[in-house]
Amino acid sequence: MVCQKMAASNESGANESGNSTNSDPDERLKKLYPAVNEEETPIPRAWSAKDKFNYLVLTQNNLRVQYKGAGKTHKDAASVRATHPIPVSCGIYYFEVKIVSKGRDGYMGIGLAAQGVNQNRLPGWDKQSYGYHGDDGNSFCSSGQGEPYGPTFSTGDVVGCCVNLVENTCFYTKNGVNLGIAFTDLPHGLYPTVGLQTPGEVVEANFGQAPFVFDIEDYIREWRMKTRLTIERFPVIDRKGEWQSALQRIVSSYLVHHGYCATAEAFAKSTGQNIDEDIASIKNRQRISKLVLAGRMGEAIEATQQLYPGLLERDSNLLFLLKCRQFIEMVNGSDSEVRGSALRSPRSQHGGSNRSSPSRSPLHHSHRPTQALQHGPHSGNTSPSRTKTHTKSSLASLQPYPSLSSSISSSCSSPTVNSSLLHGNGVTHSNKTNNQSECSNTKTFSEENLNVANMANSSANGVVLNGSDARLIEDIEMMDGVLPESRDHVTNGTSNGSETNGQCLNGSSVMDCRDDDMDVDPPISRRQLCGGSQLAIEKMLQFGRELQSMSIRLKKEHGNNEANRKQLQDAFSLLAYTDPWSSPVGAQLDPVQREPVCAALNSAILESQNLPSQPPLELVISQTAQCMKLMSKAGIATSAFADPSDYLH
C-alpha cells in the first residue's frame, strides 16, 4: 500500500513542495497535525449542530453557516462553535472561512471561543471569546470594544484564523495575506467559531480538508525549524566532562548490547569506558543473533541451549516464540533443517537483515513489513530495465519512519544497470556498473535523502551528511572533490561500503560482502515452499506437529496464552496458500520479522546474565517518546514540532 502510493507521487513529480494535492481530507489533516492523537483529542472537522444558536442553519456537511434570524439589533447575533476544541498537540492550528455572502450588513465575526460562551453574541464580545469582524475590520478581544486591526472583509473574501499554541497567539489572514498578530496570551481549549448578525449572511469553513489559500505549511515549517534549533542549541554545562562520558557510556552499552564486539572494544579503549560484560559472552550473543537474523533458527536454539543452559527451559514462551519462527523459516527455506536440501550456501543466507546492526530498537520497523513485501516481487533479480531506484518519496515526511524505497525512472540511458537490492531496511537502490554515465538529471533525490541513506549506514563509517539546508553543512570537506555528478554513485558506494563495515564490526572475519550477498529475498524463481525440497516439506510438517503439541502442553501447564495462540495460528496459516509469500499472512516471512525475535532472545540472554534487557540508548529513546506524549497532554505545544524519530535514522 504505502509503497505504491509513494511511487505514484514520485511520478507526478511532487517533490519538495509538501503541497501535494492529495484529495483524502483525513490524510491532509494528518499531515498538517502529525502529532495529534485523534483518539484522545479529535481535530475539528465541522461546525457543531448542537453547539450553536438557533438562528443559524448548517448545510454542506455542517461546513456552511447561514443566518436565518431577524437581524435587527446586536441582540440577534448568533454564533456556532466547531465540534471539538483545538488540540494543543497541533502546535499550530489553522482554519479558513469563505464569505459566501455578506448578506444585508456583513456583520460577521470569525474567531475563537471557549466552551460555554454565550452563542447569542458575535465572537469576541465576551470573556474567553476572540473575533475579527468584517464590517469594520476590528478585532475584539473579550470585549464589546473593538480595536483597529485589519481591513474589512466581505463577499468572496477568504479569512483565515491561525492559532499558535506555542506562543498562545493568533493571527488572521485575508485572501492569503497574513494580517499580523491579533491576540496574545490566549488560553488553551478554544474552539473555532463564527458569528453572524444580519439576514442573508452565509459563510463556509475549511478545517483543513481542502487546500488553504494561505500557505500555512510554510509557517509551520518555520516553527519546526525553530524547535529544532532550540533542541540543538540547548546549552549543556559540562565542565567535568560528565555529559560526554554519559554519552560515551550510552554508545558503549548499545554496542555491547547488540554484540558489536570489535567496535565496542575499540570504542571502550579509545574513550576509557569499561565494558561490564566479558568479551566472550558478547561474542556468544553475537553468534546467536546472527543465526537468528539469518533465519537459521534451529541452530540458534541449539547454540542458546548450549551456551546458556537452562535459559530456554525456564522461559518456555520464549522457546515457543523461537520455534514458531523456526517453523516460518522452514517455510521460507531458510532454516538449517531444510536448508541442506534447498542447496543454498550458508553464505548467501546470512544477510537476514541488511542493517548493520543485528537487532535494533523495535521502534524502527513498524511500517516495514508490508512495504518490504511489496517490494520483493518487482525488485528481485537483475533486470535489464533502466530503472534506477534511488529516490526517496516525497511523502516520506508523512510517515514517522522515513523509508527510502520508491522508485523513479531515470531518463538517462546507462548501458548496464545491475540492480541489486538492499532490502531489509527499506533501502532499495541499484548499483550502476557504469560510474561514468552522467545522468545528472536523475538527481532528484534531496539532500535529506542522501542523509537518510547515509545515516542508515553511518553508525560504522561515520559518513553523515547534514540533512537540513537551513544549516551550514559543516562536514563539507567530505563533499570536496566529489563532483556533484557522481554523487548518486557515492551514495551507493557508501551504503554498500557500510554493509561491509557492519559485518566486519560484527566480528566475523570471513564475510565476503559482494553485491550478490545482498539479495536477501530469494528471487521469484527460487521462491518455493521450503526451498522446493519434498524432504524438507515433510520435515517442516513434522516440525509443525511437534509445535502443535508443544502448544497444547504449554496451555496445560501455564493456561491460555493469547500471544502464543495467535503466533501459531499465523504461522500455520502460511500453509493455506500456494504462494505464502504473496498471501495476506506473508509478511511473517519477511526477514525483517526476525529482528524482534532476535531482540527478544538477546534481551532474555542478557537478563539471565543479570544485565539490563534493554540498552540505555533505547531506554532513552522510549523515555523521550513518552516524554513527548506527556508534554502534549500537559499542553506544551512545542511537542508538536519535535519528534524523537527525526533524530533516528
Partner 1 sequence: MEIDDQGGWFDTLHSDEPEKWQDALLWLKNSVIGNNKQKQNAINHGIIPRLLQWLVDGDAPQHLRLEAAIIMGSMAKGTAENINTLVEEGCVSVLLKGLKSPDQAFVESCLRCLRTIFLHNSNCGSLIYQEPSIVEDLVEIMPRSVCTQECVANILASSCKEPEHQSKLCECGLIPKLVDLLAGKVYKVQMPVLKCLAGIVRENGENCVVALTAMHNNVPLPDMLVQLMLRDRTSEMQIVAAKVLAYLCGGGALAPQDPRIISKTLPCLIRMCSRDRTLEENVEGAETLAYLLEQDGELQRVAAVSDHIIKTLAEYLKYTDVQQINRCGKRIDINWGIEMKQAAFKAFAALGANEESIRKQVIETEHLMEYVVVGLNSGNMKVAAAAIRCLHSLSRSVQLLRTTIQDHGVWKPLMKIIQEGPEELLPVASSTLCNLLLEFSPSKECILDCGAISVLVNLAARPEPNLRLNGIWGLMNLTFQVEQKVKTKVVESIGTERLFRLLSDPDANIVMKTLGLLRNLLSNKLHIDHIMGMYGNQIMQAVVFILEGEHPIQVKEQTLCILANVADGDKAKDLIMGNEDMLKKLMNYMQYQPDVSLQIAAVACISNLIWSGEDGACARQAKLSEMGVQTLLQKLLSTTDTVLFEKVRTAVQQFS
Q: Which residues in this chain contact partner 1 in the complex, by CB under 8 A?
A: 16, 150-151, 171, 174, 176-181, 215, 218-219, 221-222, 224-225, 440-441, 444, 446-447, 468-473, 476, 479-481, 484
Q: What are phi and psi of 304, to 5 degrees?
A: -60, -45
DSSP assigned state of 408? E
Q: In angstroms, give the least distance from the CB of 450 to partner 1.
A: 9
Instruction: Look at the block and give the residue holding cell 492523537.
Output: 37
Nearer to partner 1, 127 or 226 (CB): 226
Q: Pseudo-torsion of CA 41, 47, 53, 59, nearest 10°?
A: -160
Q: In angstroms, give the least distance from the CB of 163 to partner 1.
A: 16
Nearer to partner 1, 70 or 479 (CB): 479
Nearer to partner 1, 71 or 134 (CB): 134
Nearer to partner 1, 450 or 547 (CB): 450
Q: In angstroms, give the least distance from the CB of 439 to partner 1.
A: 11
Number of H helices, E strands in the chain: 17, 18
Q: In angstroms, give the least distance from the CB of 23 to partner 1.
A: 22
Q: Is 324 exposed, middle or buried (0-12, 13-18, 19+ CB in 10 A)?
A: buried
Nearer to partner 1, 222 or 438 (CB): 222
Nearer to partner 1, 85 or 111 (CB): 111
Q: Are 254 and 616 in contact (CB under 8 A)?
A: yes
Nearer to partner 1, 227 or 632 (CB): 227
Q: What 3 state SS string does 142-206 have?
A: CCCCCEECCCCCCCCCEEEEEEECCCCEEEEEECCEEEEEEECCCCCCCEEEEEECCCCEEEEEE
Q: Are 521 and 423 in contact (CB under 8 A)?
A: yes
Q: In angstroms, give the least distance from the CB of 444 to partner 1.
A: 8
Nearer to partner 1, 226 or 565 (CB): 226
Residue 539, H or E segment: helix 534-558
Q: In angstroms, give the least distance from the CB of 510 to partner 1.
A: 40
Q: In angstroms, give the least distance from the CB of 150 to partner 1.
A: 6
Distance of CA 225 to the CA centre of its chain: 18
Q: In angstroms, give the least distance from the CB of 298 to partner 1.
A: 49
Residue 390, H or E segment: strand 387-391
Q: Are 365 and 353 in contact (CB under 8 A)?
A: no
Q: Are 56 and 199 in contact (CB under 8 A)?
A: no
Q: In angstroms, give the least distance from the CB of 217 to partner 1.
A: 9
Q: In angstroms, give the least distance from the CB of 440 to partner 1.
A: 8
Nearer to partner 1, 412 or 630 (CB): 412
DSSP codes, 281-332: HHHHHHHHHHHHHTT-HHHHHHHHHHHSTTHHHH-HHHHHHHHHHHHHHHHH
* Identity of residue 354: N
Instruction: Mark 580-616 as b/e (b = at least 16 C-beta within 10 Å).
Output: bbebebbbbbbbbbbbebbbbbbbbbbeeeebeebbb
Nearer to partner 1, 219 or 572 (CB): 219
